[in-house]
Amino acid sequence: MTNRTLAEQQSAVSLRAGVFEKCLRFTRARDLIEAGIYPYFHVVESAQDPEVVCDGRPMIMMSSNNYLGLTSHPKVKEAAVDAVRRYGTGCAGSRFLNGTLSIHEELEQRLAEFLRKDAAIVFPTGFQANLGAISALVGKHEVIVIDRMNHASIYDGCRLSFGQIRKFKHNDMQDLERILREHPSRAKLVVVDGVFSMEGDIAKLPGIVQLCRQYGAGLMVDDAHGIGVLGADGRGTTEHFGLEDDVDLIMGTYSKSLATIGGCLAADFDVIDYLKHHARSLIFSASLPPAPVAAALAALRIIEDEPERRERLWRNADYLRAGFQNLGFDTGVTQTPIVPVVVGDEERALITWRRLFDRGVFASPVLYPAVPKGMALIRTSCMTTHTMEHLDRVLEEFEQVGREIALID
């Protein structure tokens, strides 16, 4: 090691400290904790059921994406336990090498059939599926076009790609066409959420499909919140619009309706084969463990065998949405079991969350950058397993809090 002067050593220490200086400056979380309105990382001490135990007391869970109530279904839990008994707790390697199990391939075949595509590939998470697909498919001199309100994982996939990133106004077909028209001779991929996870509205897929055809763009739909929820058979946004043959690539996740953790991509065989050999988040990640794979398989069977679960989910969603609107709350543009209550100001949204939390309602405040500035909201989401008593209690507490802080008259 070379001898360095004291000044050189001090300069090196200063540079190293500079990397962490932003950590020292970050006080927002501590400020909110001191103010009693810090809404994150609250420990849930029970299963993701309509009623949970949090901070040692019972609460109505209105923040979960467990739309079909399958995380506690006996068949799902039994399947996970049986998989551990047979395969152990992990795969000890990536899918690319030693981590492909027979149940991985079974789930891929079932997902391809369910989503009506030639093939599917299982990823450790839905986030990684988006990272892997977008960064592998979009190269230099190519363009990726995304809705401004897309999920963060899509944004991060774009950043990892070498393509030009263009964003169009949320669900605005004129703005999408403007961007596509600007790149007539370049390869293009349009990526949208099927269901937008904070606002609860649905992508205008018929218009998007038409524009992609007209301007020669590929189309990928992140259907994390649509699969199991939308469509006559729960196949998602593409089935909802009857456009299953018109979407090139579908991303799904198991952390919503499929009751566990994991993600997938479904497309034509050639596309999936390419992604299996080029998606870095698949090749260089440990394989999804046996238990969630088996749980997703079991949940998929229940979705197909028990359509009444989806019917109850929509009854609950319609009831809750109408209840909020009748009380005078602004629920935005929601069309799904995601039912936001728009507050506007961030501090006011945090105060709203705190008062609801104190009254036994577990709902989520959503702030910038998850929503635009000035559009802070309280996100609620329905489950099949919510009863009318649960929803009536939630509406009562929202009404009381809404009147206290003048959200409603």
User: Which are the catalytic amino acids?
Assistant: 197, 225, 256
Would residue 45 be called left, alpha or beta, if left means φ above 0 and alpha means ψ between -120 and 50 degrees? Answer: alpha
Record the tokens describing residue 241, joined without a space.
Answer: 């619009």
Place of tokens 């009444």: 308
**Where is 86: in which H helix or E strand?**
helix 74-87
Distance, CA of 239 to chain centre: 19
Cβ neighbour number for residue 79 with a 10 Å cutoff: 23
Strand pairing report for 143-147 and 57-61:
unpaired
* Closest of 222, 282, 264 to residue 97, by C-alpha: 282
Record the tokens describing residue 60, joined without a space.
Answer: 């109505």
In angstroms, the Cα distances linking 88 to 99, 139, 234, 327, 355 are 12, 39, 31, 51, 44
First to last CA, the chain: 72
